[in-house]
Structure 1
Amino acid sequence: MTEAPAFIENRTFAEIRVGDTASLTRTLRAQDISLFAAASGDVNPAHLDRDYAATDRFHGVIAHGFWGGSLISAVLGTELPGPGTVYLAQSLRFLRPVRIGDAITARVTVREKHEDRARLIMDCACLDAAGEPVITGQAEVLAPTEKVRRPRVLLPEIHLHERGAAWRKLVEAASVLTPIRTAVVHPCDALSLSGALAAARAGLIVPVLIGPQAKIVAAAMAAGESLDGVAIVDAPHSHAAAEQAVTLARMGAVAALMKGALHTDEILSAALAKATGLRTERRMSHVYALDVPHYRKPLFLTDAAVNIAPTLEEKRDIVQNAIDLCRTLGIAEPKAAILSAVETVATKLGSTLDAAALCKMAERGQITGGRIDGPLAFDTAVSREAARAKGLLDKGLGGAVAGDADILVAPDLVSSNMLAKQLIHLAGAEAAGLILGARVPIVLTSRADGAEIRAASCALAQLFVHGDSTASPGAAPCPDTQPTEAAA
């Protein structure tokens, strides 16, 4: 499409002759349909639902009819006659559907010119690339009588993002797998209980609810949920519930843990207990899976919840945990950016030294399965433009990671937690999360997370368990978790 002129200028009634014509051409994109639906409120599934549209008379998604009609209006308002035009009437006949990828030319031609009120009758048509009409009609307008020449208004940049779409795809991918038995720790409020039961209905988990039975039943009643057939393990309080959940995981009776209505410290204390916890040779760490509206793919951030000031050896495990998660989600060679404030090693910035050491550890096989680069600042980790501006791409310094990271490894918990919350609250990101490195994954949700995010975190755990050959299958029956009949 040719660049629009800097100015917009009309043609007055006195300048216009019968037979004068003007046109513009646009190619229909999927986002055009979404934008038109958002502006008009017309959410007819023929335009937005591919599965439905495949079964209707047109056998595929088509544009709203008035998308083409709006192109005619655009020609009248910007070209012929242009600014100052007043619409009086418009007739349209819709002859053929317009599909994504179709190049449509809207054309108007002056048919009649009437001196009374400077009135014009215009023939209108939208034509496809073959010149066949898809829309025809006639417009009646009042033409401007005074000359107008104005700077063309710059349109705002619009970025479309369907909230929750990434999580729905994740849940859909996981729901074809066998549900994993999951200990839900202290689900004693409506939100945490409903989230676990929603994940069960989605085919992600088989929940084992652990906590004070009376409180769990009360939460179910408050949420309008049924507990029929759901296993409940009665525990007197949240500490005991966390310890019981860890015991079940050690027995192989559950394949994952899920945080309910208790503090993170309580479930972590039980999991980290040296004699009775879920420790392995790998350091436990938290990984956020973020759906960031302005980033082109899922973004993983670590560690925002477990390791306060990790050592170099602990960072090795943190990086490896994140890579392992990404690989189980189908990312063949995840790209991990080790973050700092600069892209060069500086002895006064310890995070740059750790970044350089981690890269060398990856070269020597101490970190496997992904590509590692650092130090990288946040901008050069996620923006190719920033990486290019700083010379990383031209010099080949950023490898394949700069500007295209899958994983962001922050220097410590504070910076990682701040970055996560900035992305969530300022950039509109949605975040699911897991703790890895334990015998079983731990679904760690925020108190503010809704059912969709909780289900997404369960889907992460399910995909990780099925993709990790060392994970406990959680299929063994648990002698202390026979279903307790409880009415909600």
Structure 2
Amino acid sequence: MTADARDDGKPYASATGTQLQRLMQMAEARPPLRTAVVHPVDVLSLSGAVTAARGGLIEPVLIGPLGRMRAAAQSAGLDLAGLQMIDVEHSHAAAARACELAAKGEASAIMKGALHTDELLEAVVSGSSGLRTDRRMSHVFVLDVPSYPRPLLVSDAALNIAPDLSTKRDIVQNAIDCAQAMDIVEPKVAILSAVETVNPKMISTVDAAALCKMAERGQIVGGKLDGPLAFDNAISLEAAKAKGIRSPVAGQADILIVPNIEAGNMLAKQLFYLSNAQSAGIVMGARVPIILTSRSDPEASRLASCALAILVSQHKPNKHVR
């Protein structure tokens, strides 16, 4: 289904599934993604990788202290037969080895195990990793919100604390690339703030206007941008009409770009806990997709994140300015 098919307000998901199931359906006909799983030494991270492997989503390379991985498998009743395992001393070494495999083309994605996100990403952004690009890395949530008729992407709610304009440009482009990998051909991007007009005292509104102009000048490609937009005007046609906002984005956004990590974190968690939203998540901007999962993520979210990584890894984005 393409972006054009969305304009009538009908949902992306089929009558038999959710937005996350749609991701799974898109990925199921594709070969499993060879994935370096970093330090899966607890039951949760190891079982997530094994479940994704048994489901045909990934071909995992389990990297960590061999004894701890086997102990976790025994505790969870998991069979690791047939899965490749690389023995390293600790989590730092596991992250470095995963980056090495990805840089050599021996892994097409990286999955976070039982280590801190900062520790994993420090290895990725290291000058010696071979995984850095000229794009700033950013996290993208793909949300299935039951009351919203299409997938809703939110960025960045996990990595960049207080992004400046240059970083926001990369956040927007990463999110567009992610949406296009999901067959959203020309995603509608709402740059969020608290108001709909540019106020020099509110830097998020100035950045929003600048990002829209950057898109007009070809510095951001592949999506339709509008902003500043308040949250209600980004996702509700009725609210946008009440404010007199005429826009191809307002009321029907595919992507919400938040002004900072606090706003993004609160927005995503409100949707999780008050609207029963489910999510997949991925880090964009490196040479391979990075699957970040939270300890609180259900199995459906973990599997959908693997499916999303498959789509992103096989997507060839349009040429960008940078």
TM-score by length of 1: 0.61
Contact residue 284 and residue 438 of structure 1 kept, 8 A: yes
CA deviation string 1:125-167 (max 9, x = no partner): xxxxxxxxxxxxxxxxxxxxxxxxxxxxxxxxxxxxx997332
Which residue pairs with 2:170 in the alignment?
317
Q: Is 1:387–2:240 an aligned residue pair?
A: yes
* Aligned 1:129-208 pairs, distance under 5 A: 165-208=18-61
CA contact (8 A) 1:342 1:375 kept: yes
Within 2, Cα distance between the matches of 1:243 and 1:164?
38
Q: Give 1:425 shift.
A: 1.3
Relative distance call for 1:163 and 1:224 in structure 2 (3 A) is: farther
What residue is the counterpart of 2:257 in the other structure?
Answer: 409
Give the corresponding residue for 2:306: 458
Aligned partner of 1:424 in structure 2 is 272
Distance apart, 1:418 and its partner CA: 1.2
Question: What's the counterpart of residue 285 of structure 2?
Answer: 437
CA shift digits 1:313-371 (9 cap, x unpaired): 11111000000010111001100000000000000000000000000000001000010
| Inter-partner Cα distance in structure 2 for 1:469 and 1:322 | 11
| Contact preservation (8 Å) 1:191, 1:450 | no
2:149 maps to what in 1? 296
- Alignment length, in residue pairs? 304
Give me the whole-angstrom Cα distance separating, in 1, the residues matched to 2:278 and 2:140.
13
Equivalent-residue separation in structure 2 for 1:468 and 1:445 (angstroms): 24
| Secondary structure at 2:275 match in 1 | coil
Q: Give, in whole Å, the separation in 1 of the partners of 2:88 and 2:236.
A: 49
Structure 2 counterpart SS, 1:405: coil
Corresponding residue for residue 143 of structure 1: none
Q: State the secondary structure of the residue aligned to 2:207.
A: helix
2:73 to 198, 202, 220: 220
Amino acid at match of 1:299: L
Q: Following the alignment from structure 1 to structure 2, what is the Cα–Cα distance between the partners of residues 163 and 315?
A: 36
Choose between structure 1 and 2: higher helix proportion. Answer: 2
Aligned-partner Cα distance in 2 for 1:458–1:163: 21
CA distance in 1, matches of 2:16, 2:60: 27
2:248 to 391, 400, 414: 400
State the alpha-carbon separation in 1 of the partners of residues 207 and 267 from structure 2.
Answer: 19
Q: Offset of 1:277 from its aligned partner?
A: 5.2
- Report the CA distance between 1:446 and its aligned residue: 0.5
Instruction: Please tell me whether the aligned partners of residues 176 and 187 of structure 2 are also in contact (alpha carbons under 8 angstroms).
Output: yes
Percent identity, please.
59
455, 460, 468: which one pairs with 2:316? 468
Deviation at 1:244, TM superposition (A): 1.0
Change (3 A) 1:163 1:239: farther
- CA–CA separation in structure 1 for the residues paired with 2:17 and 2:140: 19
The CA deviation at 1:172 is 2.3
Of 431-440 and 271-280, deviating more is: 271-280
> Displacement, 1:468?
2.8
Mapped partners of 1:235, 1:174: distance in 2: 31
Structure 1 residue 272: Cα displacement: 1.4
Among candidates 194, 205, 216, match of residue 341 of structure 1: 194
Q: What's the counterpart of residue 4 of structure 2? A: none
Q: Which runs of 5+ in 1 are unaligned?
A: 1-161, 471-488
Contact preservation (8 Å) 2:34, 2:107:
yes
* Aligned-pair Cα RMSD in Å: 1.6
Higher percent of residues as strand: 1
Q: Hey, what's the Cα distance between the residues in 2 that align with 1:294 and 1:429?
A: 9
Residue 400 and residue 469 in structure 1: after superposition, are their counterparts in 2 closer, same or farther (change >3 A)? closer
Q: Is the alpha carbon distance of 1:469 and 1:373 closer, same or farther for their aligned partners in structure 2, counting shifts above 3 Å?
A: closer
